[in-house]
Chains A and B, each alone.
Chain A
């Protein structure tokens, strides 16, 4: 077992410049312990980002492009009765105004869960910010001016913006039954989908319970707020196809959707995906690319749209959630029953939200040993921004409730938050989801708990006004996947990896570079990674669910090993050495004369004709149709977070003194990147725990639209001390025992913070975010 040491806080800055730039294949020769993998190799493409040379979609030059602006309405839901484009068309520079009438009829729809989203509002806008028409003009100014000149005659319609309203018996329906999937709950309600998980004998176990805690929790709508708002450029090609530039996490999915909507073969839809400037799940799925493609094909012009930050508020958000929980415990703290009803408030189109609901609630009972569980979850439509994937994928919502329940019971039983978790946390191999498709723990999670407890000094006495909270949570990794990779080892010893993973900040390319360096024995500087182009790079299902390390990592690894086998074979032939006398290992060919660096062996094998080796790697995980998630998770992300807080009881303000996050990472392929991801997720978790929430008015319009009143954490919101650490037992399915790590650190932030506030101030908060005002209100109500 290896343990990564806790990382230094900034008081002792990490100093690592220039190190690990060269991999030495002779160093030790064991895969995974070479010089590159496992060391803090600097980010691939980092220099370009630090100098401003990196080109994001808005930075790409398209001198001949016409510019796009949307026409939106000041209401959330309305019937469009007529659109008068004449004034707009008369303005200088205007190329075209496109409405639903200009599209094939019925207006094509697309989607992930099902095909509910029209290319452009078709007779009705269903959420605030949905375009009713789109304008193309020579300049951005002209496009915007023209968008204001388009007259949309419309009748406001009643909409639903909250769970209460959406679930009311006479609620207006967000979706016409015709766009609902055939299966699923009643089409005459706003419940789009539901999920049910249950095991054990609730009645019998309830009868044994000494303490039952029952509460309702809420988790707000939050938006991704990528610092890069993003955009799309569509170039019509001479052969009637399109080239689409969009910073998407899933280029191949976008390609498929576009090909279907446009009725084009995949070869005529080329998606070029510049690196996203932050994705966090928000840039996974197609939204306005199909509309842009129609506009480009219709006008024959390159069409360019750069979003504003405000636009993204109408494009992406996390599902809000209300969770009712009833949990029974024996007097020793053993949890016996857990009943959860989780209603996810999704938006006006399904996007991937039903999956968020079913996958998130699947782990609703947490990483605990619970004999009887019942989970009922629903995805409820509303006339709001369609919710989509967001780091954590439905898990932080239920973890907030379940972790708070554990603490409520601990308080009732006189146990600490640490102790009650110790007593209930599942051991390796034990199933935390039981029933027909059990989900066993794939890590030593107690180790993470103890490590976090030690780092926060959990049991230390604290002065009044201070408190500590500790929480745990899990998230299922991908349940199916397919990643294909090509690797080329060139004659001069340089190498190329073609890997479709989107590099949105997690540093995927750095990992492929490290793997190639070790496996092929080439210098890090000699490795290039190609991604973001469906014409040049083989298929990758998607970049999500922290899957890439495992899926694409294994594909890249396989491609490298394919090359080694080919080198061996050709070397044997070229040097007339019997194959049996040869062997290969990471970075080397083993010959009777000794080890030969692989690039050298490759050169000898290729001989005077030169050429190169092309390796192929595929990593495929088929789902299981009988499984409620469509397959077993490839791995689980487990995290333990502990927070020490000081509460100003007059104002409700919190001072976060210390924040500890311990993730089970399997193997740290790149410790520097693991730190970045863990710290980043920790702070993002503090965002939804402390300050972030989209406030939707009674008219369905977002009231805090934009950076001024939607607050995300800043430098000064970082806890006084932020410590992240890893448990690394090489027990993951990825290369060298790795697991995905990008989401863990925000799964249970809220639970840890809530418990810490309760410990410090004696008040219990069940609604996120825990703002100063809410803390004050709780204290105030208590003294009343």
Chain B
């Protein structure tokens, strides 16, 4: 007979909370989190910013993509405490005003990119970063640059269209 008790109780739940001050979507925010808490968990649970989604929780899907100090990162692989003093932009911070859409978000809709929508916040954040780094990407560059963002509805071609359309729109603006 085998007796099994996985790995025994872990002390995780006793980790002391740390206060983290950060700027999220332009606003100063303070969170109180244990050290093991990821930035993704803290954004969702502490700040109620649930636009960033959890899928793989290990950097493989991009659903949790946020902008940290100007660069896209998978927030499931960042500890919340690491964001101390840093600037975070989530999908909620991309539209010019609450209730409005950014040009890129509009193009996502227009291209038919939004199916179930679960991956879309991460896609929009990643695509926004891509366009900031490369305002006129080729199809190959979009596919390469976005390849960390999985979409099981496989809106991939639609998203490529949306990024092209946004690039054109911005070039014309």
Contacts and interface: CB of A to CB of B under 8 A. Distances in A.
B144 to A, nearest CB: 7
Nearest to A93: B13
Contacts of B48: 61
A276 B48 CA distance: 20
Contact of B158 (A48, A141, A675): A675
A679 B9 contact: no
A145 interface: yes
Given A73-B4, A92-B13, A505-B117, A14 B161 contact: yes
Contact of A17 (B51, B115, B153, B165): B165
Contacts of B116: 49, 226-228, 275-279, 504-505
Contacts of A481: none
Contacts of B124: 50
Contacts of A144: 10, 12
Contacts of A40: 112
Main secondary structure, interface of A, reads loop
A531 to B, nearest CB: 14
B102 to A, nearest CB: 8
B147 A50 contact: no
A676 B58 contact: no
Contacts of B168: 13, 15
Given A679-B158, A706-B56, A715-B146, A91 B165 contact: no
Best-buried of B56, B117, B161 by chain A (most CB within 10 Å) = B117
Contacts of B42: none
Contacts of A148: 5-10
A651 interface: no
Given A52-B52, A81-B1, A278-B116, A227 B165 contact: no
A10 B53 contact: no
A71 to B, nearest CB: 8
B101 A716 contact: no
B24 interface: no
B109 A46 contact: yes
A43 interface: yes
A42 B109 contact: yes
B92 A51 contact: yes
A642 B76 CA distance: 39
Contact of B2 (A139, A154, A309): A154
A227 B118 contact: yes
B152 interface: yes
Contacts of B157: 9-10, 679, 718, 722
A19 B12 CA distance: 52
A283 B155 CA distance: 20
B77 interface: no
Interface in B98-140: 101, 105-121, 124, 139
A151 interface: yes
A456 B138 CA distance: 24
A713 B153 CA distance: 10
A682 B157 CA distance: 11
A229 interface: yes
A225 B152 CA distance: 7
Contacts of B91: 51-52
B55 A683 contact: no
Best-buried of B9, B14, B101, B118 by chain A (most CB within 10 Å) = B118
A150 interface: yes
A223 to B, nearest CB: 11
B55 A707 contact: yes
B143 A716 contact: yes
B38 interface: no
Best-buried of B2, B49, B152 by chain A (most CB within 10 Å) = B152
Interface in A106-164: 139, 141-142, 144-156
Interface residues of B, number: 77
B56 A676 contact: no
A182 interface: no
Contact of B154 (A81, A277, A679, A708): A679
Contact of B110 (A10, A15, A141, A306): A15
Nearest to B110: A17
A91 B149 CA distance: 39
A718 B143 contact: yes
Nearest to A143: B13
Interface in A686-732: 706-708, 712-716, 718, 722
Interface residues of A, number: 92
Main secondary structure, interface of B, reads loop
Contacts of B156: 679, 683, 713-715, 718
Contact of A13 (B52, B108, B111, B118): B111
Interface in A85-108: 87, 91-93
Contacts of B139: 10-11
Contacts of B164: 10, 13
A227 B61 contact: yes
A177 interface: no
A672 interface: yes
A92 to B, nearest CB: 7
A58 interface: yes
A667 interface: no
A51 B150 contact: no
B131 to A, nearest CB: 14
A306 B160 CA distance: 31
Contact of A228 (B8, B9, B55, B155): B55
A684 B153 CA distance: 8
Nearest to A156: B2
A261 to B, nearest CB: 28
A53 interface: yes
Contacts of B54: 58, 229, 306
A738 interface: no
A299 interface: no
Contacts of A506: 115
B8 A13 contact: no
Given A17-B109, A716-B143, A149 B5 contact: yes
A74 B5 CA distance: 10
Contacts of A49: 114, 116-117, 120-121
A55 interface: yes
Best-buried of B51, B114, B121, B146 by chain A (most CB within 10 Å) = B114
B35 to A, nearest CB: 12
B31 interface: no
A226 B165 contact: no
A675 B112 contact: yes
B117 A46 contact: yes
Contact of B117 (A10, A54, A87, A680): A54
B60 interface: yes
A280 B57 CA distance: 21
A673 interface: yes
A604 to B, nearest CB: 35
Contact of A59 (B50, B57, B142): B50
A712 B154 CA distance: 10
A579 interface: no
A297 to B, nearest CB: 26
Nearest to A61: B48
B75 interface: no
Contacts of A708: 56, 58, 60
B55 A716 contact: no
Q: Which 7 A-B pairs have the closest CB atoms?
A: A52-B51, A277-B118, A49-B117, A505-B116, A17-B110, A683-B154, A707-B60
6 contacts: A91-B9, A148-B7, A150-B5, A228-B55, A680-B115, A715-B156
Given A13-B165, A145-B10, A714-B147, 4 more contacts: A10-B164, A51-B105, A226-B152, A708-B60
